[in-house]
Structure 1
Amino acid sequence: MAGPISEATKPADQYRLPTNVRPTHYDLTVRTDLEKLKFDGYVTVHLDVVRDTKSIQFNTAKLKLGHAKLASSSLSEPFVQEASSLKYDDEEERATLDLPMTLPAGTKAELKIDFEGELTGAMMGYYRSAWEHEGKTAHYSLTQFEPTAARRAFPCWDEPALKATFSITMVSRADTVNLANMPAVSEHVYEPSLKESTDVVSWLSSKVSALTTGEADKWKITKFEKTPPMSTYIVAWANGPFAHLESSYTSPLSGAVRPLRVYTTPDLIHQAQFALDVKRQVLPLYERVFDIEYPLPKLDTLVATDFDAGAMENWGLITGRTSAFLLDPAKADLNGKKNVAATQSHEVAHMWFGNITTMEWWDNLYLNEGFASLVGETIILDKVFPEWKLHSAFISGDLNAAMSLDAKLSSHPIEVDTPDANMANQIFDALSYDKAASVLRMLSRYVTEEKFLKGVSIYLKKFLYKNTVTKDLWQGIAEASGLDVPKVMDNWVKKMGFPVVKVTEVEGGIRVRQDRFLETGPADPKDNETIWSIPLSLLTVDSNGKSSIDNTILLDEREKFIALDTSKPFKLNAGTVSVFRVLYSPERLVKIAEEAAKENSVFSLEDRIGLVWDALALSKAGYMEVSSALKLYEAFRNEKEYLVWNSISQSLSALASTWFEDADILKKLDAFRRELFVPIVKRLGFDYPEDEHVDVRQLRTTAIVQSADSGDEFVVAELIKRFNQAVETGDDSCIPPDLMTVIYRTAVTKGGRKEYDAVTSIVAKPKTPQMGIAGMRAMGASHDKALLEETWDYIMTKSRDQNLFYLFAGLQENFAGRHFLVRKFEENYDALYNRLIDNFGMQILIRYTFNGLASEKDHDDAKAFFEGKDTSKYSMALAQALDTIKSRAAWIQRSSNDLREWLSNRA
C-alpha cells in the first residue's frame, strides 16, 4: 500500500524548522477582498538570532510570496531577496532564505515578506464560507490553522513551541466587520492622506491604483491590540457582514468585566443566545478552579456555515460550525442543546489548556484535548447542568469511545510520535480526546478531584505562556497529592491499549490478573507485554450490608491476590472510573446482575452502566457468550435510570449493526428489542411536557428510537402520522424536536418519493442546524435504489464539504445502503480525495464508508481497493476501519450460533 516515506528513512529534525533563529513578534497586515475572493498582505517577523546563521527557514504553503527583506543591526543596509530566488520545499511546506553574510548569535533581525493567496473553500488556512443573502450566494472569510495551516495564510514559524506576540492589522471593504484574537484599537476608512497607520496606507496606496467613490469600493483599516505570546495555530481573524449578540461576565478573581459576543451572519444570529449564555456561565467557574484569570480583554465566538472540525479554540476568537453553537430553544432537541453546551465549554477550557499553556509538540496534543474534554465537558459543565448527570454519561460517551478504538491493534498511544503534518492531522481522534480524558479522570479519582485540580492549577501557573510535556503535568499533580504520579500514569499515556482484569475466586479472596484487551480476543504474547498500574477501586459490602470503596489498591504487576469475603457482593472498578474491562466467572456475573437489578442496589448508576458496556465488549472479544450479555440486559428490565437504558440501547444497536446481513437473527433480535422498549413507549407516550425531568425525556426518546428501528408497527405508525401531518399542514409543531431525527428517518425508510422529497426540501431550507442534520441523515434512509442514487448525486454536486459525513452516516445507518455507499465511494474516490485533500474530511469518510461492514470478503475487498493508493493522509483511519471489519466478521463467526439459539429459545 502506498503511503508516506517511512519515518525510519527521514530524521525527525527534517520535519522541524531549524532552531538558529526564533520569532518573537509578528507585525501582520492582511487585506481581504470578498468580491474577488483573494487576500494579500505583508508580515514583518522580529527574530532573535540564537546561533550564527547564514540561512533562515520558515513555513509557507499555497501562497505567492513577494520579495523578502532582511534588516539587522549587524547589517549596514537591508538585504533583499526576490521571491524567485528563495528555495522552496513544497513537501515540507517551507522556504529558505540564503544570506550572503553570517548573522551573529545574540543579535536581532527583522524579516519582511509580501504575500497573496486565494480564499478557497478548503476550510483550512484563510478560507471563504458561503451563505445565502437576498437570494444570492455571498461570502465571508475566516481562519482555521490547527494543526499546521497558519502557513497557508502568512509566512511564519508554524510550530506550537515557537510562541510570539502578534499585532494584526486588517484591511477590508468598509461595509464589513473585522474580527481577530484581540479587540480593535482603531478603525479608519482608507484615504491616501490618512495620518494613522501610515505604513499600511502607503502599502495600500501602492496596491490601489484608482478607487471609485461608491461605498462598495471603499476600504477600511482595522488595527488590533497586541496579543500575549501565543502559538501560530491559535492565531485567528475573520471578515464579513457579521451580526452579534453581546453579554459580559465579571471575573471572580479581579472584578474585571469582560465583553462576550457571538458573531454569525444576520440570518442566524437569533439562534446564538444559548451558546452565549453557556460561555458567560462557565468562564468564572474556570477562573475559580484554576485560580488564573482569563487573560484577554474579550472572548468572541464566530459561527460559520462552512467549518471542517466541530469548533476551534482560537484565543479570544473561538470558531465553529452552526450545529456546534446555534439552536432555537423552541425547536431544540436535548442532544442538540448538550452538544452546544459541551462544545462551548470545551473551547473555553482551551483558553487555559492549550492557549496559556501549550504542548511542546503535537505528540502531546492530549494535554490540550484530554483536559478540555474532561474538565470542559464534564467537571465544569456539570456545575451548570447537574441534571444532565455528566459524570455518569462520561462512561457511555468518552470512556466507551476510547476503549472501542483502543481495543484495536491499529490503535496508537495517547502520546504518539508525530513527525509530520500528515500524522498531526490524524491524531485528532478518540484517543487524544476521549482516552486522554478517561485516564485523567482515573487519575483524578485516584488522587481525589480536589488534589487533581490543585495540581492542574500548579502546572498551569508554572508554565504560563510557555510550552510543556507530560512530565510537567505529572509534577504538578504529584506536588498537590504527594503521590508518585509518573509511576501510575506513564504506561497509560506512552503505551497503546488497556487491560482486561480477570477475577478468579479462591479461598479467602480473589486473584486478579491483567492482560491487554483486544476486540479480536486474547492478545498474542508479543502484543501483551505492557503492565499497567491499575487503580482497581474495589467495592465491598460488610456484614451490615453497607458498601465501601477502596480506591488505594493498585494492580501494578501481572497477578495479585486480594483478601475479601466472596460470599458478599463485591465489584472491581467501582464507579467505572478506571480504564479496564473486568472479566468475572459466569456464576459471579449472574450474582452481580441480580444485585445490580435490585431497587436499592449497592452498585451505583455508574457501576451498572459499566456492567452493560463490559458485557458487550467481552462478548465481542470472545471472553464470554453474547447470550450472557443479553441475559444481563434482560435482568435490567425494571431499571429506572435513562443512562443504563441508553447503554443497553446502544449495545443492542451494535449487535443489529453487526448481524445486519443475517435476516433470521435480525428478526429475532428486533423482537427482543421491542420486548424491552415498547412497554416504555406505552408508559411514557410520544409527547414532551415542559416540566418533566430530563431523564424521563431522554428515556422516552431512546425507547421510541429503539422501537421504531426494530419495526414496532404501533410506534412506526405514530411517527409516520406525525410526519405526514407536518408536511400536509406546514406546521411541524406535532414533531417534538427530540424525535425529529427518528421521524424523518422512519418516514423515508417506510415511504417513497413523497417522503423523500419532503425531507430534501427541509435540507434545502432548514429552520435550525439540527433540522438540517436530521434531514441529511434521513436522505440516506430509503430502500429505493433510485432515491439512493439521488442522494449520491446530492453528495457529489450540492452538499457542502462540511456536511458530507452526515450524508455518509445516513447511508451507513441504512443496512440496505451500506454496500451501495461502498460502491459509490470507490467509484468516486478520486473526486472525493481531491475535494477533501486540504482538510480532515477523507479520514472521516473512510470510517463512515467501511466501519459498517462485517465480512472477511468485505475486508479483503476494501484492502485490495486501497492497494497502490497514497493513503498518507488517512492511513490510521483506514487501518482502524480494516480492523473493525475483521473483528466484526470474527464476532459473527464466533457467536452466531449462540445468539441465534438464545433468541430462538425466547420466542
Structure 2
Amino acid sequence: MGPDMHFNRLQDSVHPVVAVSSGDGKYQSVAFSRKVLLIIGGVFLAILFFSILITYLATKSANAPPPPAPTETVPPSQQHKFPTTIEPGGPDEEGQITTASMPATPTTSGENDTETGNQSVSTEPTAKELRLPTSLLPISYNLRLKVYLPGYGATFATDKNFTFEGDLKIRFLCANDTDKIMLNSIKLNLSDNPQSYSIKKSNAVDAKEISVVSTNVSEKLQMVIFQLSDMLTTGEEYEFHLTYSGPISSEVLSGLYLSSYVAADGQTSSYVAADGQTRYLAVTQMEPTDARRMVPCFDEPSMKATWAVTIVHPVGSTALSNGIENQEPVPVSDQPEWLESSFKETLKMSSYLLAVVVSDFDKREGKTKSGTRFRIWARKEAQHQTEYALTSGITALEYFEQFYGIPFPLEKQDMIAIPDFEAGAMENWGLVTYREKYLLYDPKEYALSEKRRVAVVVAHELAHQWFGNLVTMKWWDDLWLNEGFATFMEYLGTNEISNGTFRMEDYFVIDAFAGAMAKDQRATSHPLFVPIEKSNEINEVFDSISYDKGGTVLRMMDHLVGREPFRRGLNLYLSKFNYSNADHLDLWAALSEEVPESVTDWNGERLDLTNFAASWTEQMGYPVVEVTRVDDSKVQLKQKRFKLDENALEKERFRNPVHGYKWDIPIWHQVDGQDRPMKWLQTDATIDVKTSELLVINPGAYGFYRVNYDNATWEKIANQLKNDHKLIPLGSRAQLLDDAFSLAEANQLSYQQALALTAYLDKEDELLPWANAFSNLAKIKSYFEDEPAYEYVQIYMKRLLEPLYNKLNWNNIPTDYTNDSRAFEDSLQSSILAMYCNLGIYECKATAAELFRTGFMDACNSSNATASSCSKVPLSVRKLVYCKGIEHGGEREWNFVFDMYKKERFQLEQSRLMAALTCSSSRWVLTRLLDMTLEEKDIRKQDAASLFTYVGASDAAGPIIWDYMQSNWKKIYSTYKNTKSLLKYVVAASTNLKAEHNVKQFERFIQDNANVTSQFSIFEIQLEKARSNVKWMNTHFQSLAEWFKMVTSKTV
C-alpha cells in the first residue's frame, strides 16, 4: 500500500530529490550524492540488459501453444471499490445519475490488447456483426454455478480463489436448419475437447446424440461457435450440455465480479466490517451485453428464455438470484463446507436481467398487500439504514401494480445494496442491485434531497419490473422505451412514496426536463430512436437523451391525451406484449387506441399518436416557438429548431431527417393567468391576445420546446414578475428563466433581457426559478473568473442573492431532516448559501470555515471517530462546509479530512469528504489526488469519475486537470479502457475548456489519438462545448462586462 497523501511538499535541493514514504504516511526528501547515483546507474544498466534478454526470449516463444486462460487467483490488493459517477450536490444540485446499468463497452479482441497513441487498435465490429443468427431460439437455461469465494467456511486450492465453474444445459428451438451453435461468450474457459459437450433432441427418448466437431472462439465478436457433426432440423427442440469456468472479475464491474468491504486497519478507504475481517461478495451486472461474461448464452434482449439457477457457495455465505428459493440451502453431498441454493425457474426474460449475488449480508423483510415477499439486503452494520428502502419499495410496487393494472408476476422482490457498483442501480427481475447510497437511508446522515434521491432510484427500478422486464425493447436502438418510461414513472412512484410532499411534478421541470433540454440543444445529440451501427454505440445510448428526453416526451404525451387514457394505453401495451418484445411503433399503436375522441390533431381528427410521436422520437433536437405580434389583437407563432451553436455539425446521418427538423407542437398557453384551449403549431399559427394582456406559452413546462417572445412581450413578462410573479405559474417562471438565458447564449436574445428577468428574484421563495437562475448565473460567472471584470459580476450577483441570503442564513439551518415537506425549502437554502459563498464573499466563507472547525474538527478529534458519527455540521450544508474548510485552511485541515475519508464506513459521507479534498487550490495536491485514482490507492477505481468531476467543476482547476489528462493519457486509458463509462466521465471532467489555445490543443489531442477518440462520442461532445465556450467569449464577454460595470456603478 502506498503512503498517505499529505500536503508536505518536497524541498528544493542542489542534489536530485526523491520522495519516499517514511512509514507514517508522510513524504520525506532524500538527497543523493554522485557516488550513490553512479551505483544506481550501474544497477539500471544491468536491469536494462536483462529486460532486453527476457523480451528476446519471450518473443522467441511467442509461437508456442498458448497456456490455458489464466484465472484470477488473487484479488488486487486493496482494490476495494464502490462506484459513483457525478455526485449529488456536485456540479449540479442533484447531479446526473444513470439509474440503469452503464457497464463497460465490449472489447474488440480481448480486454488488454488496445493501446493508445499512434499504435493500432482493432476495428470496432458493427452491431450487425455482433448479432447472433436467428436459426436457434432459446427456450430455457438450467445453470449450476459454483462460486469460489475465500473467507467463508469452505477450503479449496488457492488457484480456485475468485473463480467460478458452470454446468449449463440450454434448451432451444431450431428455427432454420443449421450445423452450428453460436453463443455469446467472453473471457470464459471453454474446453476444446469435443467430448466435453453433448447435444440431443429434447423430447426424444432414444435420440441420437450429436457431437461437437470443433469450437471456435471469436473474442472480437464475443462469440463461441460450435461446429456440429450433424444438421439440426427446423422445428425440433434440442438440449445442449456444456461445462466451463471463468474468473470472478476484479478488472470490470460487469458479468460476475468481485466486491468487498474491508477490515478497520486505517490503511484503506473502504468499509469497516463489524468483526474486523475482510468480506468478499460476488455480484452480477449484465446490462447491456455482459451476461456472456458469466454464462455462454443467447445474449440479446429479444432472445428471451427461462432460467433455473442453482448456486453452490461456501458455508457462511448466502446466495440470491432472480427466482424465489425452492428450499433452504442444503449441504452438498460429501462436501459439507459447501451449500447448494436452488431457485425457482424464472419467467421468460432477457439475459441482461439475470442476477446472482453471493455474500454474507443480512436482510429486512416485509410483504405487499398482494402477498409479494419483499426483502432489503445490506451489510450487517448497515441494517439500520434499510427501513426506508423497504417501506418505499413496498409502496412503489403496490402503486405500480395499481397504475399498470397488472399484478406483479413474481413471488418475491429483493433489493440489495452493493459496496462496488458502477451504475446507480440495475432492475434485474426479482433482484434489484443498487449502489449503497442510493438504497440505504438514515435521517441522521441523509439530507432531504438525498432521501428524495433514494426514493427516486427505488421508484425507477421498480417501474422497470413491468416496463423493460415484462415487456422489453426488441433491440438497443429502442433503449429509450425502457429508460424513458422508467424516468417518467419514477416521478409518479416517488410522489406516492412521499405522499406528495416531495412535489415531484414540480421537480420534474428542473430535473429531467432541464437535463433533456441541455443535452438536446447541441449538435452532438441523437434521436430517441437511434439505429445502432457500431457495437460501442450500445453503451453510448445510455445517456440523458434516452432517460431524460424519453421521460419528458412521454410526460408531454400524458398531458396531451390525459392521464387515464394514457394509463389504459400502457395497460393495453403491457398486456399485449407481456413476456415478449416490442418497439416504439407497438407502443404508439396501443396508446392511440385509448386516445379520446375529444383529443384531435391539427386536422381536427382524432389524434394518432404514431404520427404525432414520429417527429419527437425519430429526429434529434427540439423547436423554439417564436412569438411575434401581428397587430393589437393577435400574435403569430412560428417554429424552428433550437440549436445552441448554428455552425456546429451533426453526425452526417442525422443532418437531413425525414421530418426536416419540424415538429407537431401542442401550444398550451395562458392569457392573464387563464388557461386557453390548446392550439397546434406546424408551420405557423396565431393566438388572439390584446397588447394589454399577458401571454404565457407552455405554462407548467409540459411541451418539450423553448419559447422566444418579441421584445415587448419579454418586457411585459419581466414587469409582471416584478409586480406579481405568482400570476405566472411556478413551472413557467422556472422555464422562462432557462429559456431566456439559453436564447441569449445562442445569440437569439440579448443577455440584458435575460438578466432583466432575474430582477424579481428577491421576492421569489420557490426552488424551481432559483434553481434555473443558479445554473445559468453560475455559467456566466465561470466565464469571468480570473478576469478583471469579475468584480462587477460578483457585485451584481451579490446584490441579487443578498436578500434571500439574509433571510435563509446560517442561523436558520434545520437540524431535523424527517419532514419531507421541507425538501424544496432545504434545497433552496443550501443552494443560496453555496452560491453566495462561491462568489467569494468573505463573510460567508468565514462562517463556513468556522463551522468546519467547531462542528467537524473539534467534534471529531477522537482517533476512532468517523465523520458520519461525530460531525455536527448540518447535513444540508455539510458538503459546502467541508469544502470551504479546505479552501480556508491549509495542510492541517486537508490532512484531517483525508484521514476521516479513509476511516469513513458509509458511502454518502465518504463522497462528501472526497469532494472536499478537491477544494484545494494547490496544483500539487490536485495532481497527487488524480494520481491516486490511477494508482487505485485510497481512492477506489469507481470513485475516479467523481473525483475527476469535482476537480473539473472548479474553473481554477480546469487548466490543471486538462494538463494532467494530456500528460497521463496513456495511463488513464490503460486504467479505464475496460470500464468505459468511467472513462467517459474522466474525459468530460478534464476537458471543460474555454481558452482558444486549449481548444486547439484538444483538437490536436483528438487527432493524435484518433484510434481511441473516434470510438467515443464524448470527445465530439466536449469539443463542441469547448468551441462554444470560445465563441461565447468572442461574442458576449466584452459587451456583458461593460453592462455589469455599468449597472453595478449605479447607486443601490
TM-score normalised by L of structure 1: 0.92
Check whether the contact 2:883–2:919 (CA below 8 A) recurs between aligned residues: yes
Instruction: State the SS of the aligned residue for 1:43.
Output: strand
Partner of 1:205: none
Aligned partner of 1:200 in structure 2 is: none
- Taking the TM superposition and a 5 Å limit, the aligned residue runs for 1:167-316 are 167-192=308-333, 218-251=337-370, 257-316=371-430
| Farther-moved stretch of structure 1 (836-845 vs 48-57) | 836-845
Instruction: Give the whole-Å Cα distance in 2 for the aligned partners of 1:12 and 1:841.
Output: 22
Q: Which residue of 2 aligns with 1:91?
A: 220
Q: Report how far residue 349 of structure 1 moved.
A: 0.4
CA distance in 2, matches of 1:654, 1:448: 37
Aligned to 1:676: 800
Deviations along 1:129-185, one digit per CA (max 9) or x if unpaired, are: 121134454311100000000000100000000000000000000110000011111
**Contact 1:37–1:118 (CA under 8 A) maintained in structure 2:** yes
The match for 1:21 is 136
Please tell me the residue identity of whatever aligns with 1:514: Q
Which of 453, 458, 461 is equivalent to 1:347?
461
Three-state SS of the structure 2 residue aligned to 1:820 is helix
Q: Is the 8 A contact 1:286 1:380 kept in 2?
A: no
Q: Which residue of 2 aligns with 1:634?
A: 759
Q: In the alignment, is residue 775 of structure 1 matched against residue 913 of structure 2?
A: yes
Equivalent residue, structure 2, for 1:877: 1018
CA distance in 2, matches of 1:382, 1:877: 36
Corresponding residue SS for 2:327: strand
Relative to structure 1, the CA distance from residue 498 to residue 27 in structure 2 (aligned partners, 3 Å threshold; closer, same or farther) is same
Letter in 2 for 1:777: A
Equivalent position SS for 1:853: coil
> Equivalent of 1:722, from 851, 872, 879?
851
Instruction: Give structure 1 stretches of 5+ with no counterpart.
Output: 194-210, 252-256
DSSP-derived class of the 2:308 partner: strand
* 1:622–1:231 CA distance, 2 compared to 1 (3 A): same
Q: Describe how 1:402-801 pairs up with structure 2 within 5 A.
A: 402-482=516-596, 483-507=607-631, 508-521=633-646, 529-541=660-672, 547-551=674-678, 553-557=679-683, 559-599=684-724, 601-660=726-785, 662-686=786-810, 687-688=813-814, 690=816, 693-725=822-854, 726-730=856-860, 732-766=870-904, 768-797=906-935, 798=937, 799-801=939-941
Distance 1:462 1:246, change over 3 A: same
- Larger mean Cα displacement after TM superposition, 666-675 or 184-193: 184-193
CA contact (8 A) 2:526 2:545 kept: yes
Structure 1 or 2: larger helix share? 1
Task: Give, as a single letter, the amino acid of the residue that structure 1 aligns with 2:788.
Answer: D
Seen in structure 2, the aligned counterparts of structure 1 residues 303 and 380 have a Cα distance that, compared at 3 Å, is closer
Shift of 1:796: 2.1
User: Per-residue deviation at 1:383?
Assistant: 6.1
Return the offset for 1:238. 0.5
Aligned mates of 1:316, 1:220 — CA distance in 2: 22
Q: Distance in 2 between matches of 1:387 and 1:663?
A: 43
SS in 1 for 2:133: coil
Could you tell me how far apart the structure 2 residues matched to 1:106 and 1:267 are? 54
Q: Distance in 1 between matches of 2:460 and 2:227?
A: 43
Distance in 2, Cα, partners of 1:885 & 1:473: 38
- The verdict on how the C-alpha distance between 1:285 and 1:574 changes in structure 2, with shifts beyond 3 A counting, is same
Indicate the SS of the match to 1:88.
Answer: strand
Q: Is the 8 A contact 1:665 1:899 kept in 2?
A: no
Is residue 779–residue 810 contact of structure 1 (8 Å, CA) maintained in 2?
no
Residue 827 of structure 1 corresponds to which residue in structure 2? Answer: 967
Q: In structure 1, what residue type is equivalent to 2:221? A: E
Mapping of residues 367-378 of structure 1, within 5 Å: 367-378=481-492
* Greater relative contact order, per chain length (Cα 8 Å cut-off, separation 6+): 2
Asked if 2 retains the 8 angstrom alpha-carbon contact of 1:379 and 1:391, the reply is no
Conserved in 2, the CA contact under 8 Å of 1:285 and 1:380?
no
Q: Does 1:805 align with 2:934?
A: no
Aligned mates of 1:515, 1:470 — CA distance in 2? 25
Supply the distance in 2 between the matched residues of 1:334 and 1:173 (Cα, whole angstroms).
40
Measure the CA separation in 1 of the matches of 2:448 and 2:751.
32
Q: CA contact under 8 A between 1:510 and 1:564: conserved in structure 2?
A: yes
Q: 1:58 to 1:659 in 2, by over 3 A?
A: farther
Separation in structure 2 between the aligned mates of residue 550 and residue 831 of structure 1, nearest angstrom: 60
Task: Give the secondary structure class of the aligned counterpart of 2:169.
Answer: strand
Q: 1:383 to 1:301 in 2, by over 3 A?
A: closer
Deviations 1:624-646, CA, capped at 9 Å, x for gaps: 12222222112322112122112
* Aligned equivalent of 1:128: 258
Cα distance in 1 for partners of 2:186, 2:563 equals 44
Cα separation, partners in 2 of 1:641 and 1:775, compared to 1, 3 Å: same
Q: Which amino acid aligns with 2:735?
A: G
Q: Counterparts of 1:322 and 1:168 in 2: how far apart (Å)? A: 26
After superposing the two structures, state which structure 1 stretch, 167-176 or 278-287, moved more. 278-287
Corresponding letter in the other structure for 1:754: R
- 2:305 is matched with 164
1:892 alignment partner AA:
M
TM-fit CA distance, 1:872? 6.7
Report the CA distance shift for 1:555/1:523 in structure 2 as closer, same or farther (over 3 A). farther
Q: What is the alpha-carbon distance in structure 2 between the residues aligned to residue 628 and residue 758 of structure 1?
A: 47
Change (3 A) 1:80 1:169: same
Q: Unaligned 5+ residue runs, structure 2?
A: 1-116, 151-160, 263-272, 597-606, 861-868
Which is further off, 324-333 or 686-695?
686-695
Give the superposition deviation at 1:765: 2.5
Which is worse superposed, 260-269 or 863-872?
A: 863-872
* Aligned-partner Cα distance in 1 for 2:148–2:965: 36
User: In 2, Cα distance between the equivalents of 1:693 and 1:103?
Assistant: 65
- Flag the 1:658–1:313 CA change in 2: closer, same or farther, 3 A: farther
**Does the Cα contact within 8 Å between 2:459 and 2:493 map onto a contact in 1?**
no
Q: Is the 1:40–1:117 contact (alpha carbons within 8 Å) kept by the matching residues of 2?
A: yes
Q: Sort the Cα spacing of 1:767 and 1:680 in 2 relative to 1 into closer, same or farther, 3 A.
A: farther
Task: Name 1:844's counterpart in structure 2.
Answer: 985
**Structure-2-length-normalised TM-score:** 0.80
Deviation at 1:549, TM superposition (A): 3.4
Alignment RMSD, CA only? Answer: 2.3
* Residues 396 and 496 in structure 2, CA contact (< 8 A), matched pair in contact too: no
- Alpha-carbon distance between aligned partners in 2 of 1:6 and 1:154, rounded to the nearest angstrom: 26
Q: By how many angstroms is 1:854 displaced?
A: 1.6
Cα displacement (A) at 1:720: 0.7
Deviations 1:768-826 (A, max 9, x none): 32211111112111112232233123222222222112111220122222121122223
**Quick one: which amino acid aligns to residue 234 of structure 1?**
L
Cα deviation per residue 1:493-531 (whole Å; 9 max; x = unaligned)?
110111111111102412222111111148899669321
**1:45 aligned to 2:45?**
no
Say which is worse superposed, 483-492 or 61-70, in terms of deviation. Answer: 61-70
Is 2:452 aligned against 1:338?
yes
CA contact (8 A) 2:361 2:377 kept: yes
Q: Of residues 811, 818, 821 in structure 1, which corresponds to 2:958?
A: 818
